[in-house]
Every structure is written in structure tokens, then in C-alpha cells.
Chain A
Amino acid sequence: MKRFEKITIKAMALLLSVFALESTVLAQGNPTLSDAEVASAAVTANQIDIDFAAIAKEKSKDTQILEFARTMANDHQAVIDQAVALTEKLSVTPKDNAVSKQLKADAEKTKAQLRAKSGKAFDKAYIDNEVAYHTAVISAVKDLLIPETENAELKDLLTSVVPALEAHLEHAKMIQQKMSKK
């Protein structure tokens, strides 16, 4: 029960951070993020999960964690490749902004927390974070990035990424559930 509470608190903290970002951005009127800034936030969000996967590869010995991390690295890299190809086609240069900066700052804290753990404690912290992170990113993409995007192709790309994020979330929850039964 305590474990569940910790996960919930962490997930809520992440969600609140994303909601705070959304509120800040939306309070300034639309559109507050340019497509260049949306592209930057999207690439940053994907790169962060690749970084989490790299830490898992380094620290975990659990087959299902390693396989999940490999899939995360490959899938999020595929999204980045698509986003970069599209920004090049549209002659848009991804531009750092409040959302991408906040994502990076939060990720640095999480990476430090993950690196401080080992063994089963690491596996649990990694998969708990994957559940919380994907929950937060799905919300940010649906409620912030997609509505803020003007270019139809970029909007389509972001929309097509959502099912992959949702599948990752379900997969992470599946592993989380299996681990809680061990």
C-alpha cells in the first residue's frame, strides 16, 4: 500500500508539473508556443525517455526491464527521426522554450534519483517512473502540444505518436504489476 502511495505521489507530482506548464502557457493566450517550440518540446520529451532507457541498460539485470528499455530507446528514437525529418522539410529549427527547459530540469532530478538506486530497487524505480512519465507526456502532448501546433503535418505527427505512448504506458503498467507480485 505504501509503495502504491509513493507511486501515486510521484505520478501526481509529474502530472502537476505538466499541468502547471499547460496553465502557464495557456494563460498567456493562443498560440503561445510556436511550431519550432512544439517540435523542440517533442524532441526533448522523447530524448528524455531514451536517456532513462540508457540508465536502465547500464544498471538493470532484469530481462523484462532491459527489453522494455530497448523498445523505449528504439521507439522514441524513431519518433525523433520523424520529427527531425519533418522540421527539416518545413525549414523549422526546433527552439528551446519554457516547456522543454522544464522537462529537462525535471528529468535531471529523476536521472539522479535513478542513478542512486541499484538492483531490484532500481528496477522498481525505473518502471514506476516510466508509468508516471508516460502518463504525464500523454497529457502534455494531447492537451498542450497538439492544440498549440499550427502546421497540419506536425499536428498529424504528434497525433500519431499518442497511440505509441499509450502502448508504452500499458506495457510499463503490465511490468509494474508483474513486479509487484514477485
Chain B
Amino acid sequence: MMTPMLVAMHRVLFPCALLLLTGFPTLQERPATKTHRLEIVRMKFSPSNLSVQPGDTVVFINLDMVTHDVTEASGKTWKSPPLAAKSSWKKVMKTSASYYCSFHPVMKGTITVK
């Protein structure tokens, strides 16, 4: 017959022991998110096709002398503000997307979230 004190200790200690034994699986299995550098240079997105993990951050850096932006292809889900020369903008990627520069629609790219 367990006393109330023992029952309480059991309830706290058992899950802790389980976590120690299993090595914190939920924390270990989730890989750390990364930050990817995506340059806008010579009127191109580079790399123009990028693969990322869900939750990774993509930093767009405008190295051209003219203003660009990054607009999701449908034009409905997301769009960066105008990025003047030497400025940058970052986005956490949760879903794959095709995008383009709305000022220069011949500039296109894709980000695949795997």
C-alpha cells in the first residue's frame, strides 16, 4: 500500500526517469533550424533553387545597385518590402514557394521545404 507521499513522488519521478532513459527523444529528433543566405546579384536570385527544412530562415540580401523585392508567385501569400541596394529581408519558411521580383519579373526562384 503506497502512501499519498509515495504516490506523488512516483508521479513526478517516473516521467523524469523515463525522459533520462530515452534521452529526451523529442528534443533530439528535432534538428536545429538553419539560416540560409540567398543573394540577389547581377539581377538573379542565387541560388535560384534552394532546399530548406521546415522552420529554416532564408535571408535575402540585395547586392545589386537597383531595388528588388521578393514576391510569392501567386502574389497572395507573402511579399517583402522593397529592398534597396545592400539591404536584406528574412523569412521563416514553412511551405515551399515559387517567387519573383515584382520590379523585374524575369527574376525568379524557388524554395523547396523538405
Nearest chain A CB to B8 CB, angstrom units: 69
Alpha-carbon distance between A136 and B106 when the two chains are bound, in angstroms: 20
At the interface, yes or no: A98 with Cβ under 8 Å from chain B?
no
Which of A74, A82, A166 is within 8 Å of B43, CB to CB? A166
A82 and B104: CB pair below 8 A?
Answer: no
CB within 8 Å of A: which of B96-114? 103-107
B106 and A163: CB pair below 8 A?
Answer: no
Residues on B with C-beta less than 8 A from A163 are: 42-44
At the interface, yes or no: A79 with Cβ under 8 Å from chain B?
yes
Q: How many Cβ-Cβ contacts under 8 Å join chain A to chain B?
A: 37
Residue of B nearest to A166 (CB): B43
Known: A171-B104, A171-B106, A174-B106. A78 touches B65 (CB 8 A): yes
At the interface, yes or no: B85 with Cβ under 8 Å from chain A?
yes
At the interface, yes or no: B66 with Cβ under 8 Å from chain A?
yes
Alpha-carbon distance between A164 and B106 when the two chains are bound, in angstroms: 11
Q: B residues engaging A (CB < 8 A)?
A: 42-44, 64-67, 85, 103-107
**A-B CB contact pairs (8 Å), 16 listed:** A71-B103, A71-B104, A74-B66, A78-B65, A78-B66, A160-B64, A160-B65, A164-B64, A164-B66, A167-B43, A167-B104, A167-B106, A168-B104, A171-B104, A171-B106, A174-B106
Q: A residues engaging B (CB < 8 A)?
A: 71, 74-75, 78-79, 82, 160, 163-164, 166-168, 170-171, 174
Q: Known A-B contacts: A71-B104, A78-B66, A79-B65. Give 4 more (CB < 8 A).
A: A79-B66, A163-B43, A163-B44, A171-B105
